[in-house]
Amino acid sequence: MTKNRTRLSVPEYVAGVLSGNRMVLSRAITLVESTLSSDQDLAEQVVNGIMGATGKAIRIGITGVPGVGKSTFIESFGQLIVQKGHRLAVLAVDPSSQRTKGSILGDKTRMETLASDQRAYIRPSPAGSTLGGVGAKTREAMLLCEAAGFDVIFIETVGVGQSEVMVKGMVDFFLLLMLAGAGDELQGIKKGIIEIADAIAINKADGDNISMAHKAKREYSNALHLFPLNKNGWMPQVKICSAVDKTGLDEIWDMILSFKEKMEDNGSFAENRSDQRITWLHEHIAYLLEHRFYNNSTVKKSLSEHLSDVRSGNLSSISVARSLVDVFIKDIENG
Amino acid sequence: MTKNRTRLSVPEYVAGVLSGNRMVLSRAITLVESTLSSDQDLAEQVVNGIMGATGKAIRIGITGVPGVGKSTFIESFGQLIVQKGHRLAVLAVDPSSQRTKGSILGDKTRMETLASDQRAYIRPSPAGSTLGGVGAKTREAMLLCEAAGFDVIFIETVGVGQSEVMVKGMVDFFLLLMLAGAGDELQGIKKGIIEIADAIAINKADGDNISMAHKAKREYSNALHLFPLNKNGWMPQVKICSAVDKTGLDEIWDMILSFKEKMEDNGSFAENRSDQRITWLHEHIAYLLEHRFYNNSTVKKSLSEHLSDVRSGNLSSISVARSLVDVFIKDIENG
């Protein structure tokens, strides 16, 4: 009862979001994030109601391990962007976070200036235990922010998990923050992240770090040239910056604008978006099927009985998979 | 009728494979590859019957784009290995190939010497339109080869698709063949492959190419040092070789043996195998669920109705996924 009283109607959500009402936007995102089945039905109608007003923002993924200065970078880079007349929404994907210790603004001192700026909207990472679920919520939150008139979206990840590949699948441009002085600092970055980056920004290029940052820039530039070209024709770039000194940020923004222009010219921008929509469809189907499978009580019981034999190699993984799926289908058939 | 007469009994398959009978091995692999449901039931019993005799080989993934000299490399490297007293099985994963134009021995002149050697067993890529299906068949074929006494397994892929990541998930060591003179030759390699390689072998380091190969070796070594360390502590290595001149092959084999020894010492070898078994279980579950989903006629109809709206962004990918999965479950419930 109480739950229902806090909900608006579909037209109220849609109209509120489209008018840029921040409170309605926040409530619509909360709806999308809800695990209640009645909320999900409502959310589906709301999101489909605003789809026509989506797609106009430039979507930027930003990742980097803890310690790279990501919050300060987003704070400084975000301010530069709103000062140029844009409206910025910052979302996060962090499947490990609980709402109460969300990665963004769990600590209220993070991005203080940006958070109080009316041209910016900052939303913590949704709660959720599985990446697929969190990713779907984040993607729909992004669409709602676009419909509310935000024309630049940041999607932040922590750079240490699977989430970067997923975020790559929902953004136009993927920026990896790194530090100079390779070695230890980099080891937290997951393999494969460097190869999916459209640009690497070497942060903290200030004070005594400047010459090291230039050296790192050369090394990464050389390494990136050994990789195969992106099919969109973009050669990933390496930039240096200091979020604290606010240097190098303009160059990064110009690079992103130049990327957007080139991709729009050669058709890759629209093609990538269209490919992403189809990929999301199939990935979310896979997520939902597996979600149902692993939450089926008959499957759970059978899986727990066989897991140690699979792990030890006594039973073939393939044949156990086959029998578990049969168990699942039979269980649905029997209601 | 004819089909059934060509089948052996489970004990006949198991005993034949375990005794190293090549004809029974081939027939058992054919059984694993069959799409007939009765064959799959039989195959499951056969594979579970030989599981106790599996796991003793060193499993090596070998990839490289067409033109890198992969067949010649496997021919020369394979001969070196059997001459050292090993028994070698060569399997292939190529989801794009049809049986009639299989990537291995479709052309009978490929690996002629190795193919006629009784210490080697060469099996073309199984037919199949989906990677998950082909991968499962290849993995079970690998287990059968191990049970038949082959103690070195090569799994060959073409280096241009998704199959490398899958092969990485079934081998102990992943070798990437490349050519000197970066640029054009490398562009067929899929992004991410370089980062999952345990070693890069720069092939065709002969004649005028030798100095270029050395230069490429230095460049790749530098680039690999920028990547995060593997959790098993292995630093990927770069070697140069010539499959035609048969140079550098001994060093590659020694490196693989040294890798195996180190991984066994630090426990990573067994841990990786155990992780792979669990991953295969979950991946094959996902594959089977999706296979059933996409082959459901009600789903097919509904999907084709919504696809263009998803592609254009008129409907949310997430909400269409949700409604399609509901359609699927209801269809099973209704028998």
Which of A199-213, A216-230, B199-213 has the lowest average pLDDT? A216-230
CATH class (in words) of the domain with range A1-52: mainly alpha
Give the gap in angstroms from C-alpha B108 to the nearest C-alpha of chain A.
31
Q: What is the pLDDT of residue B96?
A: 63
User: In chain B, where are the structural domains located?
Assistant: 1-52, 54-266, 296-333
Q: Has residue A300 got a pLDDT over 50?
A: yes
Element (H, E) at A176: strand A173-179
Q: Has residue A191 got a pLDDT over 70?
A: no
Asked whether the beta carbons of residue A289 and residue B325 sit closer than 8 angstroms, the reply is yes
Residue B179: closest CA among chain A residues belongs to which residue? A226
Q: pLDDT tens, A84-139?
A: 999 999 998 876 654 444 444 444 457 888 989 999 999 987 877 677 788 889 99
Closest by Cβ to B229, choosing from A48, A187, A321: A187
Q: Report, at the CATH architecture level, how domain A54-266 is classified.
A: 3-Layer(aba) Sandwich (3.40)
The answer to whether A301 contacts chain B (CB < 8 Å) is no
Q: Which long-range contacts (CB under 8 A, 24 or more apart) does B101-108 make?
A: B102/B127, B103/B156, B103/B158, B104/B156
Instruction: Please identify among residues 259-298 of chain A the ones whose CB lies closer than 8 Å to any CB of chain B.
Output: 273-274, 277-278, 280-282, 284-290, 292-293
Closest by Cβ to A318, choosing from B284, B320, B332: B284
- Low-confidence stretches of chain B (pLDDT beneath 50): 1-4, 98-108, 182, 184-185
Please, what sign has the CA dihedral across residues A256, A260, A265, A271?
positive
Q: What is the pLDDT of residue A17?
A: 98
Whole-prediction pTM: 0.85
Q: What is the pLDDT of residue B295?
A: 95
Q: pLDDT tens, A10-41?
A: 999 999 999 999 999 999 999 999 988 899 89
Give the gap in angstroms from C-alpha A152 to the nearest C-alpha of chain B.
18
Asked whether the beta carbons of residue A311 and residue B223 sit closer than 8 angstroms, the reply is no
Cα dist from A303 to B52, B272, B280, B310, whole Å? 21, 21, 14, 35
Q: pLDDT tens, B278-329?
A: 999 999 999 999 999 999 999 999 999 999 999 999 999 998 999 999 999 9
Question: Same CATH fold, A54-266 and A1-52?
Answer: no
Strand order in B173-179's β-sheet? Answer: B120-122, B88-93, B152-157, B58-63, B173-179, B199-203, B237-240
Give the gap in angstroms from C-alpha B295 to the nearest C-alpha of chain A.
14
